[in-house]
């Protein structure tokens, strides 16, 4: 159920703006308080690190099992445990208010941005150019919050359904009780693109501080948005524009050399200061993850660590195997204010690589990927990767991106995009109590006729009757339709009545199998 957002007053300063039409005594300046009037007053809201620059993606990280959940936190936070363990029996609506802060943190940041955008035009002690610049910063930050919300709470973008599927509430006012509209997926994406397009002419290449997203951040955000829309032409264009402003990468080999004694120490208590902080060479702008306090990089489950290639120096610099009591996991060993959710150059390189691969420019795509890998793989282990197919290239690119953008919204958004596309789907699985656990998988292969595809669908017992199979099949059908195939077909055991109900509800017709009476063939025609 979509939550109802109730706009709140962030500070006494903001509250004072709302009572201009009340009795005179309400218009009097509260003793000891400052009423914001100047542009500097409003610009200060954008530097609120906790409320504006905090994008909590903890729950998506737990769902992907990128982040290790300790037994103590699992017992204290039921929502964390439910998502980490893929437990469908937990009442998530009940625990949302206490355990899940993504929604509230994002709309808090949006409210601040709305406050600035609404009031900056009438602020004093500033030129029009400076007012436009401050409003432009707020629009970029607002877009970043909306992207997080849209890609966690709503269906991912698909051109065939974006105009009819509902997304999230759109709020453009900071007033208490402000009206809102639950817009469609297309409308929220149009809104984000428009905000960024309006902002870019008034932005410097890089912001006044790392908390101020300049043109580089706006271009990078547009590249991320267009990639999510599967518009690989525009995504490539804006990734290139962002990289033209900043193309620097952290050299993790150099970081290892400088911190070798700490990283190689057997003591898990020793840590190094992260190069992903405020002064990171990769940053277009800075945004925290789950909190604004300095902290150690998040811990990682053992099975997740297997996704890093042999010799990954980035992994070695950031995690170390750790055992406490009955728990063993990879503990984070870099500390500081980590730029989990700001725009970074490494993401733009990997967006560029994927777009080139999609255009069948495999050599160019792998060259871009290898540019990144030279900075993340140990020099004594590095071997350039090559790819003989688009699928192979995308597999390599996705692996690197999932690893380097871990604990951001990007891996979660990418997973949904790939699943919606239906070609490069990946089964979400983990090891639990010595067993491999999977949620579901759906895929298709092209038949010899080149005009039809045959699907396969499997859903774990615990996740049946929750609409997972329907969502996966709907995405698969849409993908096959977009690719121009004539029909989706499959073979179903004759006694599998539940599957037949699902298939008929999705528009499949049921036919005798030409060779096996124990099986029936289901067919979904994609074109009339």
Q: What backbone torsions phi and psi does residue 432 show, to the nearest 5 degrees?
A: -140, 125
Helices (H), 77-176: 78-84, 92-99, 102-119, 128-153
pLDDT score of 4: 35
Assign 320 to helix, strand or coil. strand
Interatomic CA distance for residues 153 and 306, integer angstroms: 29
294 CB-side CA count, 13 A: 10
Q: In whole angstroms, how large is the CA radius of gyration of the chain? A: 25
pLDDT score of 18: 34
pLDDT score of 17: 32
CATH architecture of 435-525: 3-Layer(aba) Sandwich (3.40)
Residue found under tokens 């267009």: 226
Interatomic CA distance for residues 17 and 488, integer angstroms: 58
pLDDT score of 283: 98
pLDDT score of 295: 79
pLDDT score of 19: 34
Longest dimension (CA), the chain: 87
pLDDT score of 450: 86
* Low-confidence residues in the chain, pLDDT < 50: 1-30
Q: Which residues pair with 344 in a beta bridge?
A: 283
457 CB-side CA count, 13 A: 29
Q: What does the domain layout of the chain look like in residue ranges? A: 12-56+65-243, 244-407, 435-525
Q: Residue 307: which residues within 8 A CB-CB, separation 6 or more?
A: 399, 402, 403
Cβ distance 125 to 40 under 8 Å? yes
pLDDT tens-digit series, residues 440-471: 777 788 888 888 988 888 776 666 666 777 87
Assign 8 to helix, strand or coil. coil
Distant-in-sequence contacts of 155-159, Cβ < 8 A, 24+ apart:
155/185, 156/185, 156/228, 156/413, 156/416, 156/417, 156/419, 156/420, 157/185, 157/186, 157/189, 157/228, 157/229, 157/230, 157/417, 157/420, 158/185, 158/420, 158/475, 158/478, 159/229, 159/230, 159/482
pTM: 0.81
Residue found under tokens 């993504």: 102
Helix, strand, coil percentages for the chain (3-state, nearest 5): 45, 15, 40
Q: Residue 408: which residues within 8 A CB-CB, separation 6 or more?
A: 57, 289, 340, 341
**Could you tell me the fold of the domain covering 12-56+65-243?**
1.25.40
Structure tokens at 180: 């809102």
pLDDT score of 34: 60
pLDDT score of 433: 63
Structure tokens at 502: 């699902």
pLDDT score of 244: 98
Cβ distance 123 to 41 under 8 Å? yes
Cβ distance 368 to 400 under 8 Å? no
Cβ distance 282 to 346 under 8 Å? yes
């Amino acid at each position: 159920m979509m939550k109802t957002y109730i706009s709140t007053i962030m500070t006494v300063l903001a509250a004072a703006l709302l009572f201009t039409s009340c009795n005179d005594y309400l218009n009097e300046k509260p003793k000891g308080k400052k009423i914001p009037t100047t542009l500097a007053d409003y610009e200060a809201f954008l530097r609120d690190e906790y409320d504006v620059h905090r994008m909590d993606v903890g729950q998506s990280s737990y769902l992907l099992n990128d982040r290790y959940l300790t037994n103590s936190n699992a017992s204290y936070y039921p929502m964390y445990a439910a998502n980490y363990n893929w437990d469908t029996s937990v009442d998530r609506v009940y625990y949302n208010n206490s355990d899940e802060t993504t929604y509230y943190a994002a709309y808090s940041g949006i409210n601040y941005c709305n406050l600035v955008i609404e009031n900056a035009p009438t602020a004093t002690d500033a030129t029009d150019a400076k007012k436009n610049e401050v409003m432009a910063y707020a629009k970029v930050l607002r877009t970043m919050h909306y992207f997080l919300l849209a890609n966690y709470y709503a269906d991912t973008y698909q051109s065939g359904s974006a105009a009819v599927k509902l997304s999230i509430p759109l709020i453009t006012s900071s007033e208490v009780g402000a009206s809102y509209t639950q817009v469609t997926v297309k409308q929220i994406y149009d809104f984000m693109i428009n905000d960024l397009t309006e902002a870019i002419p008034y932005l410097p290449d890089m912001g006044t501080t790392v908390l101020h997203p300049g043109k580089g951040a706006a271009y990078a955000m547009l590249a991320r948005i267009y990639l999510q829309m599967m518009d690989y032409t525009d995504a490539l264009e804006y990734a290139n524009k962002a990289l033209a402003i900043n193309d620097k990468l952290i050299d993790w080999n150099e970081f290892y050399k400088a911190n070798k004694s700490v990283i190689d120490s057997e003591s898990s208590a020793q840590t190094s200061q992260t190069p992903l902080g405020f002064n990171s060479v990769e940053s277009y702008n800075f945004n925290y993850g789950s909190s604004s306090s300095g902290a150690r990089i998040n811990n990682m489950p053992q099975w997740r660590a297997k996704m890093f290639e042999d010799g990954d120096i980035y992994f070695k610099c950031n995690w170390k195997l750790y055992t406490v009591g009955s728990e063993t996991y990879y503990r984070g060993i870099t500390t500081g204010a980590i730029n989990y959710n700001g725009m970074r150059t490494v993401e733009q390189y990997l967006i560029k690589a994927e777009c080139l691969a999609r255009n069948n420019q495999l050599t160019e795509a792998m060259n871009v990927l290898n540019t990144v890998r030279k900075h993340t793989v140990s020099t004594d282990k590095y071997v350039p990767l090559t790819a003989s197919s688009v699928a192979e290239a995308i597999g390599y690119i996705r692996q690197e991106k999932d690893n380097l953008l871990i604990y951001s919204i990007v891996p979660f958004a990418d997973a949904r995009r790939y699943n919606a596309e239906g070609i490069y789907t990946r089964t979400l699985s983990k090891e639990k109590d010595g067993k491999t656990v999977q949620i579901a998988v759906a895929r298709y292969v092209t038949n010899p006729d080149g005009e039809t595809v045959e699907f396969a669908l499997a859903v774990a017992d615990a996740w049946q009757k929750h609409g997972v199979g329907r969502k996966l099949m709907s995405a698969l059908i849409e993908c096959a339709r977009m690719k121009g195939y004539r029909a989706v077909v499959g073979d179903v055991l004759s006694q599998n009545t539940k599957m037949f109900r699902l298939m008929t509800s999705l528009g499949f017709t049921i036919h005798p199998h030409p060779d096996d009476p124990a099986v029936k063939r289901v067919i979904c025609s994609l074109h009339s």
